[in-house]
Amino acid sequence: MVRQRKEIILGAATLAIVIVFAGATSLAQSMPSARALGMAGSYILESSNCEAATANPANLALPGNKHFTLKLVSVSGRVANNAFSLADYNKYNGAYLTESDKQDILAKIPGSGLDIDFNGGASALSFSAGSVALTTEVIGGGKGSLPRDPIELALMGNKIGQPVSADGSGGQGWSAVAVGISYGRKIIAAHGWDVAAGVSVKYLQGLAYFSAEGLSAQAVTLTTGLSGSGGMTTVQSLGGRGYAFDLGLTAQGEHALYGLVFKNLLASLKWNRELEKTVYTFHFDNITVENSGEDSLWTSEDHQVAISSLQSRPPLEIQLGASRRFGSLLTAASVTQGFEKSAFVSKNPRVACGVEYQPIGLLALRSGIAIGGNDNLSAGFGLGLGLGPLHLDLAYASASRLVPWGGKGSQFAVSTILEF
């Protein structure tokens, strides 16, 4: 019974952590377009028209762009972890777990613990007119970690005298609405090349901020009952304001295109609405099923610490890309370097390459692979349909493996754009 009690307590704590991180969101970068994602992100810097505003604003000034484009709606999302694939989920979800199954699950979790991250974005009624674009986006994501001990306890149960710790858990995130204006201008034309520069200035309206830090929780089963203690510090806010500034360069020849962009070259977000910092502590001693209702065995405390404002910064990221067309075949490659680890950005460089083949005018088939970044390995697949002025793009990308459904995460994107 003591074992059951301990599993219930730590199981509930684990679930609470997951729920907290599911509600925490973090803005870092704009999500890739469906066309770019279908090529594993390799074409992101070569995006044109209204999509250029969030990819490389310099492309707004290039010859060949449409006079007016309107993004009706664009939706994308990503979820990934460092332990389990979709095949693992399908295998073990709802199934009776044998001892071998439990050992297999634990073996998949790295010694550092289980990391989960997700992000998503949506945009509607963004448009470009000539070399100017106006964009609106809602972007969010979250990242959390949980050590092996609570997971092992839930699977294998507890042992007398063996401590269980949830130390090392934590996470941080925020979400915002971004309204941006972008402008591109040709700066030189020589020897068959058009060179352009562009800027995007975004106003950020913070929606929510949450961080959980310094989480410590230990418990041990003794012959007299279950004992444990722990604590956590949280910071949360329900509003803030800030800005972000992107700078892009591009060079276009007869068949090739090169791009360089600095994302969030200047950026800041100040949180000051309903800002709270709370320190939680708890302790319980010799708890058994029989005495669990006695309040004297449980103690908990929380107190708030005054904090007037909090500053956060969308992470800096540099992207370099190139593409070349061979008739109906488009090839592309890119390198991305982030300077902070988040739900969107990784300190590990990401190298991507992809192709787009257009067998007929109204259909485009896309594929690509990427190495590095948050996913380590990724394979992208997508298609585009052109129905007169209406363009529909769909894309899917895997995470951690090049097999579409075998990775430890996935990403999708859908967009519809009118071009005139």
pLDDT digits (tens, 9 = 90+) for 344-392: 678 899 999 999 999 998 999 999 999 998 888 899 999 999 999 999 9
Name the β-bridge partners of 280: 232, 302
Best-predicted range by mean pLDDT among 270-274, 285-289, 407-411?
270-274
* Region of poorest pLDDT, from 70-79, 166-175, 322-331, 391-400: 166-175
Tokens of 364: 């485009």
Query: Is the Cβ–Cβ distance between 57 and 47 less than 8 Å?
Result: no
> In the prediction, which pLDDT does 342 show?
65
What residue ranges do the domains of the chain occupy?
2-316
Quick check: 29 pLDDT over 70?
no
Please give the average per-residue pLDDT across 155-181, as a whole number.
Answer: 84
- Please report which residue ranges of 220-373 form alpha helices under DSSP H: none
CB 253: neighbour CB atoms within 10 A? 12
Q: What is the DSSP string of 284-302?
A: EEEE-TTTTT-GGGEEEEE
CB 151 within 8 Å of CB 109: yes
- The more confidently predicted of residues 295 and 329 is 329
Could you tell me the pLDDT band of residue 118, with boundaries at 50, 70 and 90? confident
pLDDT score recorded for residue 16: 41
In a 10 Å sphere around its CB, with 0-12 CB exposed, 13-18 middle and 19+ buried, how is residue 86 labelled? middle
Per-chain mean pLDDT for the chain: 86
The H or E element spanning position 72 is strand 68-81
The confidence band for 146, taking pLDDT boundaries of 50, 70 and 90, is: confident
The mean-pLDDT minimum among 2-16, 159-173, 182-196, 205-219 falls in 2-16
| Claim: this prediction has a pTM higher than 0.75 | yes
Which residues share a beta bridge with 225?
Answer: 222
On the CB side of 307, CA atoms within 13 Å amount to 20
Structure tokens at 279: 């320190």
